[in-house]
Amino acid sequence: MKGKFITFEGIDGCGKTTQIKLLKEYLFKKGYNILVLREPGGTKVGEKIRDILLDKDNFIFPMTEMLLYASSRAQLVSEKIIPALQKGKIVIADRFVDSSYVYQGYARELGIETVKVVNEIATIGILPDITIYIDITPEEAMKRRGKREADRLEKESMEFHEKVREGYVKLIKQHPERFVIIDGMQEISKVHQCIITVIKKYL
Protein backbone atom coordinates (compact mmCIF):
# COMPACT_ATOMS: atom_id res chain seq x y z
CA MET A 1 0.00 0.00 0.00
CA LYS A 2 1.11 3.53 -0.76
CA GLY A 3 0.85 5.11 2.70
CA LYS A 4 2.79 4.61 5.90
CA PHE A 5 1.43 3.12 9.10
CA ILE A 6 2.97 4.38 12.35
CA THR A 7 1.85 3.15 15.77
CA PHE A 8 2.61 4.38 19.29
CA GLU A 9 2.90 2.01 22.22
CA GLY A 10 3.80 2.15 25.91
CA ILE A 11 2.26 1.93 29.36
CA ASP A 12 -0.67 4.16 30.35
CA GLY A 13 0.52 7.72 30.85
CA CYS A 14 3.87 7.36 29.04
CA GLY A 15 3.08 10.26 26.71
CA LYS A 16 1.65 8.64 23.58
CA THR A 17 -1.22 11.09 23.03
CA THR A 18 1.01 14.10 23.80
CA GLN A 19 3.64 12.97 21.30
CA ILE A 20 1.16 11.98 18.59
CA LYS A 21 -0.32 15.47 18.73
CA LEU A 22 3.14 17.03 18.32
CA LEU A 23 4.09 14.65 15.50
CA LYS A 24 0.82 15.34 13.73
CA GLU A 25 1.45 19.10 13.87
CA TYR A 26 5.00 18.61 12.61
CA LEU A 27 3.99 16.39 9.68
CA PHE A 28 1.02 18.61 8.85
CA LYS A 29 3.32 21.63 8.51
CA LYS A 30 5.53 19.58 6.20
CA GLY A 31 2.49 19.04 3.97
CA TYR A 32 1.80 15.38 4.68
CA ASN A 33 -1.72 13.97 4.61
CA ILE A 34 -2.24 12.46 8.06
CA LEU A 35 -4.90 10.42 9.79
CA VAL A 36 -4.69 9.99 13.57
CA LEU A 37 -6.61 7.12 15.17
CA ARG A 38 -6.94 5.80 18.69
CA GLU A 39 -7.50 2.37 20.12
CA PRO A 40 -9.81 1.09 21.24
CA GLY A 41 -12.10 3.30 19.18
CA GLY A 42 -11.41 5.42 16.13
CA THR A 43 -14.72 4.48 14.50
CA LYS A 44 -18.33 4.96 15.59
CA VAL A 45 -18.69 1.28 16.48
CA GLY A 46 -15.20 1.17 18.01
CA GLU A 47 -15.92 4.12 20.32
CA LYS A 48 -18.90 2.20 21.72
CA ILE A 49 -16.65 -0.79 22.35
CA ARG A 50 -14.17 1.60 24.00
CA ASP A 51 -16.85 2.77 26.44
CA ILE A 52 -17.47 -0.82 27.51
CA LEU A 53 -13.77 -1.55 27.90
CA LEU A 54 -12.87 1.52 29.93
CA ASP A 55 -15.97 1.60 32.16
CA LYS A 56 -14.62 0.98 35.65
CA ASP A 57 -17.94 -0.52 36.76
CA ASN A 58 -17.63 -3.37 34.24
CA PHE A 59 -16.18 -6.72 35.27
CA ILE A 60 -14.71 -8.19 32.09
CA PHE A 61 -13.01 -11.58 31.72
CA PRO A 62 -9.60 -11.50 29.98
CA MET A 63 -10.90 -13.45 26.96
CA THR A 64 -13.87 -11.09 26.56
CA GLU A 65 -11.51 -8.14 26.87
CA MET A 66 -9.19 -9.50 24.18
CA LEU A 67 -12.06 -10.17 21.78
CA LEU A 68 -13.57 -6.72 22.33
CA TYR A 69 -10.23 -5.09 21.52
CA ALA A 70 -9.95 -7.28 18.43
CA SER A 71 -13.49 -6.32 17.34
CA SER A 72 -12.73 -2.63 17.66
CA ARG A 73 -9.49 -3.19 15.73
CA ALA A 74 -11.19 -5.17 12.93
CA GLN A 75 -13.59 -2.28 12.39
CA LEU A 76 -10.75 0.24 12.44
CA VAL A 77 -8.68 -1.69 9.90
CA SER A 78 -11.49 -2.06 7.35
CA GLU A 79 -13.20 1.28 7.87
CA LYS A 80 -10.20 3.59 8.33
CA ILE A 81 -6.70 2.15 8.09
CA ILE A 82 -6.81 0.31 4.76
CA PRO A 83 -8.67 3.08 2.85
CA ALA A 84 -6.28 5.73 4.21
CA LEU A 85 -3.15 3.75 3.36
CA GLN A 86 -4.51 3.09 -0.13
CA LYS A 87 -4.85 6.85 -0.59
CA GLY A 88 -1.20 7.28 0.44
CA LYS A 89 -1.89 8.86 3.82
CA ILE A 90 0.28 8.60 6.91
CA VAL A 91 -1.80 6.76 9.49
CA ILE A 92 -0.78 7.27 13.11
CA ALA A 93 -2.44 4.98 15.65
CA ASP A 94 -2.49 5.49 19.41
CA ARG A 95 -2.00 1.75 20.24
CA PHE A 96 -2.55 -1.23 17.94
CA VAL A 97 -2.06 -4.98 17.98
CA ASP A 98 1.07 -4.86 20.19
CA SER A 99 -1.04 -3.57 23.08
CA SER A 100 -3.09 -6.78 22.92
CA TYR A 101 0.02 -8.96 22.91
CA VAL A 102 1.32 -7.18 25.97
CA TYR A 103 -1.85 -6.43 27.99
CA GLN A 104 -4.02 -9.45 27.23
CA GLY A 105 -1.43 -11.98 26.05
CA TYR A 106 1.28 -11.27 28.59
CA ALA A 107 -0.03 -9.26 31.56
CA ARG A 108 -3.42 -11.02 31.69
CA GLU A 109 -1.74 -14.30 30.78
CA LEU A 110 -4.02 -15.32 27.91
CA GLY A 111 -0.94 -16.35 25.94
CA ILE A 112 0.69 -14.72 22.94
CA GLU A 113 -0.44 -17.49 20.57
CA THR A 114 -4.16 -17.00 21.36
CA VAL A 115 -3.86 -13.26 20.87
CA LYS A 116 -1.94 -13.80 17.65
CA VAL A 117 -4.51 -16.12 16.07
CA VAL A 118 -7.41 -13.76 16.81
CA ASN A 119 -5.57 -10.60 15.81
CA GLU A 120 -4.20 -11.90 12.54
CA ILE A 121 -7.80 -12.48 11.51
CA ALA A 122 -8.98 -9.13 12.92
CA THR A 123 -6.25 -7.08 11.21
CA ILE A 124 -6.13 -9.12 7.98
CA GLY A 125 -2.44 -9.39 8.81
CA ILE A 126 -1.77 -5.65 8.57
CA LEU A 127 1.22 -4.57 10.68
CA PRO A 128 2.69 -1.12 11.32
CA ASP A 129 5.67 -0.01 9.24
CA ILE A 130 7.14 1.44 12.40
CA THR A 131 6.18 1.30 16.06
CA ILE A 132 7.36 3.99 18.46
CA TYR A 133 7.63 2.55 21.96
CA ILE A 134 7.81 5.27 24.61
CA ASP A 135 9.56 3.82 27.63
CA ILE A 136 8.99 5.19 31.13
CA THR A 137 8.86 3.67 34.60
CA PRO A 138 5.44 2.77 36.05
CA GLU A 139 6.18 5.14 38.96
CA GLU A 140 6.65 8.09 36.60
CA ALA A 141 3.54 7.08 34.62
CA MET A 142 1.48 7.08 37.80
CA LYS A 143 2.79 10.53 38.72
CA ARG A 144 1.87 11.84 35.27
CA ARG A 145 -1.60 10.36 35.31
CA GLY A 146 -1.87 12.30 38.54
CA LYS A 147 -5.21 13.44 39.71
CA ARG A 148 -7.28 12.58 36.66
CA GLU A 149 -9.86 9.90 37.42
CA ALA A 150 -8.53 6.44 36.58
CA ASP A 151 -10.37 4.28 34.03
CA ARG A 152 -10.77 0.49 34.39
CA LEU A 153 -7.26 -0.30 33.14
CA GLU A 154 -5.49 2.54 34.89
CA LYS A 155 -6.92 1.34 38.18
CA GLU A 156 -4.70 -1.75 37.89
CA SER A 157 -1.88 -2.23 40.42
CA MET A 158 1.69 -1.05 40.04
CA GLU A 159 2.69 -4.73 39.53
CA PHE A 160 0.31 -4.93 36.56
CA HIS A 161 1.90 -1.89 34.90
CA GLU A 162 5.36 -3.32 35.68
CA LYS A 163 4.32 -6.55 33.94
CA VAL A 164 3.03 -4.60 30.93
CA ARG A 165 6.41 -2.89 30.62
CA GLU A 166 8.15 -6.26 30.90
CA GLY A 167 5.85 -7.57 28.15
CA TYR A 168 6.85 -4.73 25.83
CA VAL A 169 10.55 -5.44 26.41
CA LYS A 170 10.05 -9.11 25.46
CA LEU A 171 7.94 -8.24 22.40
CA ILE A 172 10.46 -5.69 21.12
CA LYS A 173 13.25 -8.29 21.37
CA GLN A 174 11.19 -10.52 19.07
CA HIS A 175 10.50 -7.78 16.48
CA PRO A 176 13.54 -5.48 16.54
CA GLU A 177 13.02 -4.53 12.87
CA ARG A 178 9.74 -2.73 13.48
CA PHE A 179 10.21 -1.12 16.91
CA VAL A 180 12.01 2.03 17.93
CA ILE A 181 12.51 2.60 21.64
CA ILE A 182 12.27 6.22 22.77
CA ASP A 183 13.34 7.36 26.24
CA GLY A 184 10.11 8.87 27.54
CA MET A 185 11.62 10.08 30.82
CA GLN A 186 12.96 13.18 29.06
CA GLU A 187 11.00 16.41 28.80
CA ILE A 188 8.21 16.59 26.21
CA SER A 189 10.15 18.61 23.60
CA LYS A 190 13.20 16.30 23.82
CA VAL A 191 11.02 13.21 23.35
CA HIS A 192 9.45 14.93 20.33
CA GLN A 193 12.88 15.64 18.82
CA CYS A 194 13.89 11.99 19.20
CA ILE A 195 10.70 10.86 17.50
CA ILE A 196 11.15 13.28 14.59
CA THR A 197 14.72 12.10 14.05
CA VAL A 198 13.45 8.53 13.73
CA ILE A 199 10.40 9.31 11.57
CA LYS A 200 12.42 11.42 9.10
CA LYS A 201 14.42 8.32 8.17
CA TYR A 202 11.25 6.42 7.34
CA LEU A 203 9.38 8.96 5.23
Ligand X SMILES: Nc1ncnc2c1ncn2[C@@H]1O[C@H](COP(=O)(O)OP(=O)(O)OP(=O)(O)O)[C@@H](O)[C@H]1O
C-alpha span between 122 and 75 (Å, rounded): 8
Q: Which stretch binds ligand X (CB under 6 A): 5-13, 29-37, 125-133, 174-182?
A: 5-13
Between 23 and 85, CB nearer to ligand X: 23
Q: Which of 6, 14, 76, 172 binds ligand X (CB under 6 A)?
A: 14
User: What separation in angstroms does the CA of 35 have from each of 72, 90, 137?
Assistant: 17, 6, 29
Among Mg ion, ligand X, none, what does residue 122 contact (CB within 5–8 Å per kind)?
A: none
Q: Which of 6, 22, 191, 195 binds ligand X (CB under 6 A)?
A: 191
Is 41 labelled a binding residue?
no
108, burial (CB in 10 Å: exposed 0-12, middle 13-18, buried 19+):
buried
Return the residues of window 13-52 that contact Mg ion according to CB under 5 A. Answer: 16-17
Residue ranges at the known binding site for ATP:
10-17
Residues that bind ligand X (CB under 6 A): 10, 12-18, 144, 184, 187-188, 191
